[in-house]
Amino acid sequence: MPDGPTVRRRRLGAELRRLRSGHALKLDEVAGQLGLVASTLSRIESGKAPIRTSYLNDLLNLYEVTDPGARQLLVDMAREGHRKGWWSDYDDVLPSGFDIYVGLEAEAVAIRSYESNLVHGLLQTKEYAAAVLRELHPRDNEEQVQRLVELRMQRQRQRLLDTEPPIELWLILDESVIRRTVGGPAIMRQQLNHLVESGRSPNVTLQVLAFECGAHAGMDGAFSILEFNERSDPDVAVADGVGGVAYLEKDREVRICTEAFDRLRAAALSPAASIQLIQRASGDLQ
């Protein structure tokens, strides 16, 4: 898979952060010299925002990067970071900050995810997605909701159908996800049957965390860990909630999420037993 704009911005930001640290400069000091607010420079260094070529050249001068080849490599990264991903077609309905997640997901090779309330977006049916999005975005009209559904279906096509090899997805669902009837019995039954079918795919591992498990490592809420192909692109942990998406990129933060996922994986039912439970839940729907 060719490197996309999100990966390019992350690599450039990491290099700029390394150069600043190497010169013992604080974020606000450098931002002040560029005429930027510190939060803007922080977003650039974290790969969440692109950088103008003029600002980049000023930074490279400040950091005493004189080698023409090294400078050109970073300039090229900055230009690639300005490219639009396919998800930019949905800018009119994308929730604030969610474009960052879609960009990361588009370039990840594997996702480990724990979901406490709903099916992961990559495995939602169209009808289930619409029912969820109407509740999550009550101020959106039906046309906007359908645009968000289209985005969700496009994510699935990009990562599960049109990519070779498809993304590796390890999904742990709290039992409440398969027991909560979203959109009515018919829609929920269709969703559960889709989960069963998806769980048999070689690139999808599906587990259910049963109610009888009791207290568990995911009680703080849903989270995902995205892995990338290159070692230079560190894993990112993502926590989603009412207040928006939080990106956890420090080594300690990612390690805490990884350890929590491993504990959830050990506590959850086996993939085979999980499929059986989902099938029983589908059969219980009236």
pLDDT digits (tens, 9 = 90+) for 14-23: 889 889 999 9
At which residue do the structure tokens 């560190």 appear?
A: 234
pLDDT of residue 3: 61
Same domain, 12 and 62: yes
**Both tokens of residue 207?**
């587990």
> Helices 27-34 and 38-45 sit at what angle, rounded to 10 degrees?
110
At which residue do the structure tokens 């977003």 appear?
A: 43
pTM: 0.83
Same domain, 93 and 76: no
Same domain, 147 and 233: yes
Same domain, 152 and 96: yes
pLDDT of residue 47: 84
Same domain, 268 and 170: yes
Q: Are 192 and 282 in contact (CB under 8 A)?
A: yes
Q: Closest Cα to residue 209, out of 270, 138, 143?
A: 270
At which residue do the structure tokens 């999005």 appear?
A: 133
Domain range holding 30?
Answer: 5-81
Residue 77's CATH number: 1.10.260.40
Q: Are 31 and 131 in contact (CB under 8 A)?
A: no
pLDDT of residue 181: 97
Q: Count up the domains in the chain and report the number.
A: 2
Same domain, 55 and 191: no
pLDDT of residue 1: 47
Same domain, 72 and 91: no
Sites in the chain below the pLDDT cut of 70? 1-3
